[in-house]
Structure 1
């Protein structure tokens, strides 16, 4: 997937947090700690620093959701993070994103904290960010 393809898919998936631009994806992908797991209908972007993996973003085309793509991408994210030496993974998700919270729960993540009023929705509403973690075996 190209940075433009990633940005277009991200825009189809998100308003909060705001969709990332192609230049942001391009910049991230130049960093050696960053890795991309892709599928024709989605992607997971992560990074490993020291022994910690962070899921930067996960996007699945709305027309292809609930088909196991997100769960498969998460499994690949965790496998790659493990291969890169991560012992722990973390992510952050908008508190009102129930489908994503359910996916991360299914993938073994547990809530570890809350960032109050972290995200700004297009209508100006402030939304909490949920921090989730899990060990990588």
Structure 2
């Protein structure tokens, strides 16, 4: 569990629990036009992927935590892949996405990954710029990867050496 100081509140990153999924899905639907399903998230937990939530504690009981963001990282031999990362709209542009990504980079290093991969919608310039600031470089384009309102959208495939 990582403690992160992000003004004006303090958050922590911890393992995602099935009891977090209702809040995770609310964020997912809030920030993505084509969201993952609750089944996608529960399957990721059951598969043993590194599923994390960023929470602000609201009380002594863990079930009272306010989920502000989440991520899922898949680690394989020598590599890691960020499957998803999201921050609730109310908490965007406050450094939380960067904090979560730095956490995933360190987690990947701990598991001896040599590099970390992610993909991002070509239109998501804010996220792509964040990834570049944290050392990711575009290595390819996956044509028509994402569903879009009028057809399909390309994904930028990005990589960071560890």
The TM-score, its normalising length taken from structure 1, stands at: 0.91
Higher relative contact order (CA 8 A, sep 6+): 1
Within the candidate set 138, 156, 159, 1:111 is matched to 138
Which has the larger share of strand? 2
Counterpart in the other structure of 1:89: 116
1:134 is matched with 160
Give the superposed CA RMSD. Answer: 1.2
List, as ranges, runs of 4+ consecutive aligned residues in structure 1 with deviation greater than 3 Å.
none
Question: Once the two structures are superposed, what CA deviation does each residue of 1:36-86 show, in whole Å capped at 9, x if it has no partner?
Answer: 232121112111011110000010011111100000000101111111121
**Structure 2: where are the runs of 5+ without partners?**
1-15, 56-67
Q: Give distance in 2, aligned partners of 1:126 and 1:54.
A: 22
C-alpha displacement of 1:124: 2.5
Count, aligned residues: 132
Which of residues 24, 36, 39 in structure 1 aligns to 2:54? Answer: 39
**What is the aligned partner in structure 2 of residue 9 from structure 1?**
27
TM superposition shift of 1:5: 2.2
Separation in 2, partners of 1:124, 1:10: 21
> What's the TM-score once normalised by structure 2's chain length?
0.77
